[in-house]
Amino acid sequence: MLTILLTAGVIGGIAVLCASALALAAHCFAVYEDPRVGELEKCLPGVNCGACGYAGCSDYAKAIVAEEAGIDRCAPGGNDVLEALAAATGAAATTLEKMVALVHCNGTAENAKHRHAYNGIMDCQAAHQLAGGDMTCNYGCLGYGSCARVCPVDAIEINKNLAIVHPDLCIGCKACVASCPRNLISMVPASKKIHVLCSSADKGPIAKKACNVACIGCRICAKLDGDAFTMDGFLAKRNYDNDVTNPAVIEKCPGKCIVDTAPAPPAQPTEGQHA
Amino acid sequence: MKVTRALRKLRGSIHPQYFKGLTADAPITTMPAPAKLFVSMAQHLGAPAKPIVAKGDIVVQGQCIAEAAGFISAPVHAPASGKVLEVDTAPTPAGTMAPRIIIETDPQNTETQTLPPMPEWQKQPRETLLARIAEAGIAGMGGAGFPTRVKLSPPADKPIDTLIINGAECEPYLTADHRLMVEHSAGIVNGIRIICHLLEVKHVHVAIEENKPSAIEAMQQALEQLDGVEASVCILPTEYPQGAEKQQISMTTGREVPSGGLPMDVGCVVENVGTVLAVANAILEGLPLTHRVTTVTGHIVQTPQNVLAPIGTTYADLVAFCGGLTNPAAKVISGGPMMGMAQPSLEGSTTKTSSGLVFLEERRVHVYRSLPCIGCGRCIEACPMDLIPAAISYTVEGGDYDKAEALNILDCIECGCCAFVCPASRPLVQHFKLAKPKIIVKRRQAAAAKGTA
């Protein structure tokens, strides 16, 4: 009997000691965390993509609470997250234009010509380093998929040696923009569907020789719809501030580089040659 | 004058087939200027030169057509007389874009322009001689193209006591330096004399691989004329990469260049034989660097030979001068097959660093399919820099550049021994070439951030 009592007493005593040590520690070393951080973190999508410029969703929530960052930096969240954040912080809610990545090139295996064979690392940077890439065009997509590999949501497909961003899947994190050695990818408003899919700054004849769908710098688009298209040297640029008012530009473009992507790019994913 | 042997064995090394017999006994032939010359402005390491001529200008051979754009840069001179057709932008043999001057040569115009010769150079101040070397546009002709003037002006806190003349030419196929040593040994010795005077060094090693007995003999005889310095011909075993400067310092002097260091950290300056000859020509005869010897070789070249051609000659003109090709080429390499760059077409042109042009037929070009590493460790044995290529390539593949840096990827000399021996055909050196610039950029950014913070 005594043994049982003694054991229970010792164990109980240790329990009481430990519990009070824990209670003391919890009281003395307590870290105050702003309850707002947790609240905001719940509003964020939690993909930790880094588009906001912070190390993850939690870090961004902390930055909002510390008033270092505005509430409009979460690209994947879009307007829903913006509204939730506005409700939680009491800041004025603005609407956020959804931006998606776009590869400004349409040089598929059929359209763009190859200059030489490449037998190196399957990486665009490596291919670009060797004599400026294996394409005749010095500006176009090499198709070795460096952008597809950095995409956190697999929104980029390599189809016939050309990277295509699926706008419905793109969360707008911009990871691919920095990965392209030829700077072909930029962010465009998701609502705009008509794009100039060429980045060649070469003069018309050179560009045309390298690719069937190159911008030849003819200025027809700028003449037909000067608000939506501007010229930068020998390359037409889309001005995304304005809508295309004259849809004839697509038909009239002799290089066939102005493309309406509204019906979405070809949906059957086929194995690219390289990827 | 004495003859020494290498002090040690090369740590890692390989023995590729050399095929030097194709051109080793062929005397240097002089090629007349072709109809058009395509002169790149990025022929050296550092900032590309700035063109100072415009379309339509008449230029004379030896006239300065582009000036140095900064301290680490070099001017460019017209390799032949003629008219400037165009100043445009084109890819260099290494694949980067740089300005280029196209000259339509005029065979009637035999006028040449030289700088005033300095026969009494010993009486000239050091600065005048260095300025002349810079003015003549001399850049390292071994392959890297580092401006020679910069190399010959070490900071005061790095005393130099040894000059090493690099005549190893360890790349397979190439014999340009070999022929220079045989045919122009007296000129090379004149260059050595000038550089010794500039650096105030007392020891000179002329490092030559033992597979060039004729060059060893010629240099031995010529070095007898050199007084006041302790000169020796150092015979190196035939191994690749014997011609790498850090390896050569270790073989000839026993000193080790520290990780991340330069030859001047151990009191050495290494100069290629071609560079030394160019220095002698610039000072004694006032000739700017407008021509160089390029080995045009390969089993499918009609008459492989060492050609003294104007800089800016297209590959197509060079091979036409050598009688054309007997079979279609599957690969054309500017430089040697180990470290040279494969060229997309014959439209490219030679530069100050074009040591060779190698034509390979289909039989000799392998299309590699890279397989996973089998952990055999052969790359570790082959690495002359004591690195672990297999491990570094893994970190690069995974994008972990910090780890790659910790594994000393920046000490890689890109000799290609690891990829040469890899039984799984892994693109090891290609991975390092991809990662090194990224790491260097990151380091620079970190240093800049530190500076502003």
CATH number for position B230: 3.40.50.11540
Token pair 């502003």 is found at B452
Give the pLDDT mean for B392-420. 93
Contact indicator for B341, B333 with CB cutoff of 8 Å: yes
- Phi and psi based region of residue A180 (left: phi greater than 0; alpha: psi -120 to 50; beta: remaining): beta
Contacts of B95 in chain A (CB under 8 A): 128-132
In-domain check, residue A275: no
* B61 pLDDT higher than 80: yes
Same domain, A75 and A153: no
User: Which candidate, B128, B219, B173, B195, places its Cα nearest to that of B364?
Assistant: B173
* A65 pLDDT higher than 80: yes
- The conformation of residue B241, written as its DSSP 8-state character, comes to T
- The residues of A whose Cβ lies within 8 A of any Cβ of B are 115-117, 119-121, 123, 125-126, 128-132, 134, 138
Q: Confidence class of residue A273 from pLDDT cuts 50, 70 and 90?
A: very low
Question: How far is Cα A70 from Cα B60, in angstroms, rounded to an integer?
Answer: 64
Amino acid in position B75: P
Report the side by side order of strands in the sheet with B268-272.
B2-5, B230-236, B203-209, B162-167, B268-272
Same domain, A118 and A83: no
* Closest CB from A119, A123, A132 relative to B434: A123
In this structure, the strands spanning B203-209 and B230-236 are: parallel
In-domain check, residue A22: no
Contact indicator for B393, B371 with CB cutoff of 8 Å: no
User: What is the reported pLDDT for B453?
Assistant: 59
Helix B176-183 with B185-199: angle, nearest 10 deg? 90
In-domain check, residue A18: no
Give the pLDDT mean for B150-163. 92
**Are the Cβ atoms of B96 and A125 closer than 8 angstroms?**
no
Number of structural domains in chain B:
2
Report the side by side order of strands in the sheet with B64-67.
B50-51, B64-67, B76-77
What are the φ and ψ backbone dihedral angles of B353, each rounded to 5 degrees? -105, 10
In-domain check, residue B440: yes
pLDDT tens column, B175-209: 999 999 999 999 999 999 999 999 999 899 999 99
3-state secondary structure (DSSP) of residue B76: strand
* A133 pLDDT higher than 90: no
* Closest CB from A117, A123, A132 relative to B91: A132
Q: Confidence class of residue A263 from pLDDT cuts 50, 70 and 90?
A: low
Same domain, B307 and B423: no
3-state secondary structure (DSSP) of residue B82: strand
* A63 pLDDT higher than 60: yes
Same domain, A49 and A173: no
Contact indicator for A101, A177 with CB cutoff of 8 Å: yes
Kindly tell me the number of DSSP H helices and DSSP E strands found in chain A.
Answer: 10, 8
**Are the Cβ atoms of B95 and A120 closer than 8 angstroms?**
no
Same domain, A186 and A218: yes
The pLDDT > 70 percentage for chain B reads 99
Give the pLDDT mean for A254-275. 67
The pLDDT > 70 percentage for chain A reads 95
CB contact burial B180-192 (16+ within 10 A = b; e otherwise) = bbbbbbebbbbbb
Same domain, A232 and A196: yes
What are the φ and ψ backbone dihedral angles of B67, each rounded to 5 degrees? -105, 160
Answer with the one of A89, A117, A135 that is the final residue of a domain: A89
Kindly give, in sequence order, each residue whose CB lies less than 8 Å from that of residue A55, ignoring residues fewer than 6 positions away.
Answer: A48
Same domain, A133 and A82: no
User: Which candidate, B249, B275, B305, B20, places its Cα nearest to that of B142?
Assistant: B275
In-domain check, residue A1: no
In-domain check, residue A150: yes
Number of structural domains in chain A:
2
Mean pLDDT score across all residues of chain B? 92
Same domain, A144 and A251: yes
User: What is the reported pLDDT for A109?
Assistant: 87
Q: Which helix (H) or strand (E) holds B101?
A: strand B97-105
Alpha-carbon distance values, A3 to A9, A16, A17, A199 (Å): 10, 20, 21, 87
Instruction: Copy the structure tokens of residue B145.
Output: 């193209």
Contact indicator for A197, A162 with CB cutoff of 8 Å: no
Amino acid in position A182: R
Question: How far is Cα B129 from Cα B148, in angstroms, rounded to an integer?
Answer: 12
Interface A-B, measured as beta-carbon pairs within 8 A, has a size of 40
pLDDT tens column, B76-128: 999 999 999 999 888 887 777 889 999 999 989 888 889 999 989 999 899 99
Question: How far is Cα A264 from Cα A95, in angstroms, rounded to an integer?
Answer: 25
Mean pLDDT score across all residues of chain A? 87
Same domain, A232 and A103: yes
Question: How far is Cα A121 from Cα A124, in angstroms, rounded to an integer?
Answer: 8
Contacts of B91 in chain A (CB under 8 A): 131-132, 138
* Closest CB from A121, A123, A130 relative to B95: A130
Same domain, B334 and B295: yes
* B148 pLDDT higher than 50: yes
Same domain, B296 and B432: no
Answer with the one of B306, B335, B365 that is the final residue of a domain: B365
Amino acid in position B199: L
Same domain, B61 and B111: yes
User: What is the reported pLDDT for B451?
Assistant: 74
Same domain, A82 and A152: no
Give the pLDDT mean for B291-312. 95
Can you give the three-state secondary structure of B321-379, one letter per residue?
HCCCECCCCCEEEECCCCCCEECCCCCCECCCCCCEEEEECHHHCCCCCCCCCCCCCHH
CATH number for A204 = 3.30.70.20
Q: How many CB atoms lie within 10 A of CB A55?
A: 12
Answer with the one of A54, A89, A124 that is the final residue of a domain: A89
* B333 pLDDT higher than 50: yes
pLDDT tens column, A69-120: 888 888 888 888 888 888 888 877 777 788 899 999 999 988 999 888 888 8
In-domain check, residue B372: no
What are the φ and ψ backbone dihedral angles of B314, each rounded to 5 degrees? -75, 160
In this structure, the strands spanning B356-360 and B291-297 are: parallel
* A10 pLDDT higher than 70: yes
In-domain check, residue A229: yes
Distance from CA of A73 to the nearest CA of B (A): 24
Answer with the one of B365, B397, B417 that is the final residue of a domain: B365
Instruction: Copy the structure tokens of residue B47.
Output: 């900032």
Q: Which domain holds residue B218?
A: 1-365
Token pair 């002329």 is found at B206
Q: Which residues pair with A165 in a beta bridge?
A: A156
Same domain, B331 and B222: yes
Q: Confidence class of residue A275 from pLDDT cuts 50, 70 and 90?
A: very low
Contacts of A126 in chain B (CB under 8 A): 430, 433-434
Closest residue of A to B425, CA-based? Answer: A120
Instruction: Copy the structure tokens of residue A263.
Output: 């019906």
In this structure, the strands spanning B162-167 and B268-272 are: parallel
Q: Which residues pair with B5 in a beta bridge?
A: B235
Distance from CA of A44 to the nearest CA of B (A): 28
Closest residue of B to A125, CA-based? Answer: B434
Q: How many CB atoms lie within 10 A of CB B312?
A: 28
Q: Which residues pair with A196 in a beta bridge?
A: A258
Picking from B433, B439, B440, B442 by the largest number of A CB atoms within 10 A of its own CB, the best residue to mutate is B433
Picking from A114, A115, A129 by the largest number of B CB atoms within 10 A of its own CB, the best residue to mutate is A129
ipTM summary value = 0.80
Q: How many CB atoms lie within 10 A of CB B112?
A: 14
Same domain, A179 and A73: no
Answer with the one of B310, B344, B365 that is the final residue of a domain: B365
**Are the Cβ atoms of B430 and A121 closer than 8 angstroms?**
yes
Q: Which residues pair with A235 in a beta bridge?
A: A232
Kindly give, in sequence order, each residue whose CB lies less than 8 Å from that of residue B326, ignoring residues fewer than 6 positions away.
Answer: B300, B301, B302
pLDDT tens column, A187-242: 999 888 899 999 998 888 989 999 999 999 999 999 998 889 999 989 999 999 88
Question: How far is Cα B303 from Cα B297, in angstroms, rounded to an integer?
Answer: 8
* Closest CB from A117, A126, A132 relative to B434: A126
* A9 pLDDT higher than 90: yes
Same domain, A80 and A129: no
Q: Which domain holds residue A193?
A: 99-260
In-domain check, residue A269: no
Q: Confidence class of residue A268 from pLDDT cuts 50, 70 and 90?
A: low
Question: How far is Cα A151 from Cα A48, in angstroms, rounded to an integer?
Answer: 12
Q: Confidence class of residue B228 from pLDDT cuts 50, 70 and 90?
A: confident
Same domain, B160 and B261: yes
Which residues of chain A form beta strands (DSSP E)? Answer: 99-103, 156-159, 162-165, 185-189, 194-196, 229-232, 235-238, 258-260
Distance from CA of A169 to the nearest CA of B (A): 24
Quick check: bond before A152 cis, omega within 30? Answer: no
In-domain check, residue A23: no
Same domain, B138 and B227: yes
Radius of gyration of chain A (CA): 27
CATH number for A72 = 1.10.15.40
Same domain, B262 and B408: no
Total-model pTM? 0.83
Contact indicator for B81, B131 with CB cutoff of 8 Å: no
**Are the Cβ atoms of B97 and A121 closer than 8 angstroms?**
no
Question: How far is Cα A257 from Cα A103, in angstroms, rounded to an integer?
Answer: 12
Same domain, B163 and B73: yes
In-domain check, residue B373: no
Answer with the one of A46, A66, A89 that is the final residue of a domain: A89
User: What is the reported pLDDT for A269?
Assistant: 54
Helix A78-89 with A35-43: angle, nearest 10 deg? 160
Distance spanning both ends of chain B, measured CA to CA: 56
User: What is the reported pLDDT for B139?
Assistant: 94
Same domain, A78 and A185: no
Q: Confidence class of residue B174 from pLDDT cuts 50, 70 and 90?
A: very high
Closest residue of A to B368, CA-based? Answer: A119
Least confident of A43-57, B199-213, B247-261: A43-57
Q: How many CB atoms lie within 10 A of CB B37?
A: 26
Token pair 């004329």 is found at B225
